[in-house]
């Protein structure tokens, strides 16, 4: 390599940084665990870095691209979601940005599944009984009961990578699945799951034959015991079917009063004020959240209301937070590895320098040849 590339990383992503340094890169890592101020990112980009490693905490828009005019060549996002990056601005400045899809799919899907079980079986309030010395007796139904997951019906909203992986976990629990996705219906996948359901039934492994089908959104909400959300955050104007406040008062009221809502996608997909009311007034049975409209969750959030604590699980944006998923330097296994590989592809001109062929670049449309 004849040029020494300069990179600024807005947070430490572990050993993958050394991997870049071993290739001769000069990498500066923002040393604090909190996100840097946007003005600092602007300053670093202005100083002429070739690459920026960003996370979902960093707003990446025209101000950043303008600061990097003539020098910034790539933004490598350490996440699959990229709602913090203004795609139109990146395209206008012709800066490719990459993400870390696929490697966090299973970790996120299993976390959503575990959240569903934790919520429904009331594991958090149950452990509190033990810890707070309130476990006074064994009783058939006191002080409370949970609901089984096995054999129930789950609505999966968004059947992309994580939604499909989540469905695979549900098969082992004999669940029926209502799928909804306005843009991507994977009927081959649905057929494969149905064949597995049929086989499990034929071999006597299940008493009832489980089923799976695509249905309209309202039908999915009305028919489900659990609703798990796996959509990207798309604001008005970014999609024909935006997901911002998809779960508002109207749609929450479509759910069964006993149904549980699980969200590992992005916070603004749910109108939190409406959800807090839904929980307080028992329009739905409960909710388990990993993501919020504002992160970290503000101290005065209505979701912190102790009156709903028994049916509202609050995780700290933790669904992909597993060792291999977060830190492996192998681009087939870890977000760190995939993030730096995306950066290397662009800076070192892999794939003959053709950005449209680079697997981790998201905004390929900005580089399509117009003949």
Identity of the residue, 45 or 119, whose beta carbon is nearer to ligand NAD in the bound complex? 119
Residue 183 vs 307, nearer CB to ligand NAD: 183
Task: Provide the edge-to-edge strand list for the sheet that holds 97-98.
Answer: 26-29, 6-9, 51-54, 74-77, 97-98
Bridge partners of 29, per DSSP, are 9
Identify the sign of the CA torsion 141, 142, 146, 150. Answer: negative
Q: Does 160 bind ligand NAD (CB under 6 A)?
A: yes
**Which of residues 73, 230, 311, 338 is near ligand NAD by CB under 6 A?**
230
Task: Choose the stretch contacting ligand NAD; rule: CB under 6 A; options: 25-33, 175-183, 324-332, 359-367.
Answer: 175-183
Q: Which residues of 317-330 are buried (b: 16+ CB within 10 A; e: fewer)?
A: bebbebeebbbbbe
Taking the complex as a whole, the smallest distance from the CB of residue 188 to ligand NAD amounts, in Å, to 14
Among 80, 190, 308, 343, binds ligand NAD (CB under 6 A): 80
Interaction of residue 232 with ligand NAD, rule CB under 6 A: yes
Catalytic site includes residue 317: yes
- Per CB under 6 A, the list member of 5, 78, 113, 180 interacting with ligand NAD is 180
Candidate segments 139-147, 258-266, 326-334, 353-361, binder of ligand NAD by CB under 6 A: 258-266
Catalytic (active site) residue 295: yes
Shortest distance (Å) from residue 264 CB to ligand NAD = 4
Q: Does 62 bind ligand NAD (CB under 6 A)?
A: no
**Interacting residue ranges for ligand NAD, rule: CB under 6 A:** 80-81, 101, 104-105, 108, 157-163, 180-184, 230-234, 239, 241, 243, 246, 264-266, 290-291, 317, 319-320
Q: Which residues are catalytic?
A: 266, 295, 317
């Amino acid at each position: 390599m004849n040029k020494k590339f300069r990179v600024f990383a807005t947070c430490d992503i572990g050993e993958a940084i050394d991997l870049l340094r071993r290739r001769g890169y000069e990498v500066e890592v923002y040393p604090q665990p909190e996100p840097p101020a946007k003005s600092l990112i602007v300053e670093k980009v202005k100083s002429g870095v070739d690459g920026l490693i960003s996370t979902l905490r960093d707003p990446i828009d025209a101000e950043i691209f303008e600061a990097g005019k003539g020098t910034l060549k790539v933004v490598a996002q350490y996440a699959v979601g990229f709602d913090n990056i203004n795609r139109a601005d990146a395209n206008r400045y012709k800066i490719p940005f990459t993400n870390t899809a696929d490697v966090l799919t299973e970790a996120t899907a299993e976390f959503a599944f575990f959240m569903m079980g934790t919520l429904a079986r009331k594991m958090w309030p149950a452990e509190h009984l033990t810890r707070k010395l309130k476990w006074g007796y064994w009783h058939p139904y006191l002080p409370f009961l949970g609901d089984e997951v096995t054999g129930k019906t789950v609505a999966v909203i968004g059947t992309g990578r994580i939604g499909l992986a989540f469905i695979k976990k549900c098969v082992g629990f004999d669940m029926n699945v209502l799928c909804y996705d306005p843009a991507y219906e994977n009927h081959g996948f649905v057929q494969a799951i149905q064949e597995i359901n049929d086989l499990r039934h034929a071999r006597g492994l299940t008493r009832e034959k489980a089923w799976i089908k695509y249905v309209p959104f309202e039908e999915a909400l009305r028919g489900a015991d659990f609703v798990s959300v796996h959509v990207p955050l798309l604001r008005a104007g970014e999609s024909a079917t935006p997901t911002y406040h998809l779960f508002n008062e109207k749609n929450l009221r479509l759910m069964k009063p006993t149904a549980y809502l699980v969200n590992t996608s992005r916070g603004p997909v749910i109108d939190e004020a409406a959800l807090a009311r839904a929980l307080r007034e028992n329009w739905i049975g409960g909710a388990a959240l990993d993501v919020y409209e504002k992160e970290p969750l503000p101290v005065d959030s209505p979701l912190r209301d102790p009156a709903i604590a028994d049916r509202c699980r609050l995780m700290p944006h933790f669904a992909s937070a597993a060792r291999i998923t977060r830190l492996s330097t192998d681009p087939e296994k870890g977000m760190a590895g995939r993030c730096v590989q995306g950066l290397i592809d662009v800076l070192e001109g892999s794939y003959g320098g053709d950005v449209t062929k680079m697997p981790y670049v998201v905004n390929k449309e900005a580089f399509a040849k117009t003949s």
